[in-house]
Amino acid sequence: MQLESRSGRKERPRHRWWKAVQHRLRRHPVLLSFVVGLGLLGAAGYVLARPGSAEPGISLLEASRQAVRLSLREDLRLRANFSDAAETSINDQSGGKHLVRGWVDLISESGAVERQSYSCILYRNHDGEWLADNITVLPQ
């Protein structure tokens, strides 16, 4: 049994510059791996550096913790343990503001732990930095 063969162009013509690139990449595998690695690094950098790629709740949590930590007495700043994301509430307010509520364990020099509730209002300034307002830390 014989199969039909089609006539026509065997291969699409390629541009001269592409043939030159293929020739160089075949002759120099190190160049090929360099080009591929550079492309992967560029793609990873683009994905990681995009604004808004991090979850907004995480940056709100960190900003609220930093604001509350700065409002504490200096001897308690390093010994403060904050509520995790599951136990912290973030409520959106008008005008791009966010109300963050949670708890903080204040550990004294003697080792006594006192749990207190905190709340603050966070918003971004014109430079995109978080600003805190109405920081409140109250005993539970």
- In the structure encoding, which two tokens stand for residue 52, read together? 């808004």
* pLDDT attached to residue 13: 59
Mapping DSSP to helix (H, G, I), strand (E, B) and coil, where does residue 32 land? helix
CA distance 63 to 40: 32
CA distances from 11 to 14, 24, 56, 76, 103 (A): 9, 21, 52, 75, 70
pLDDT tens-digit map of 109-136: 888 888 999 999 999 888 888 888 898 8
Query: Who wins on pLDDT, 122 or 48?
Result: 122
Domain boundaries, the chain: 16-49, 56-139
88 and 100 Cβ atoms separated by less than 8 Å: yes
Mapping DSSP to helix (H, G, I), strand (E, B) and coil, where does residue 63 land? helix
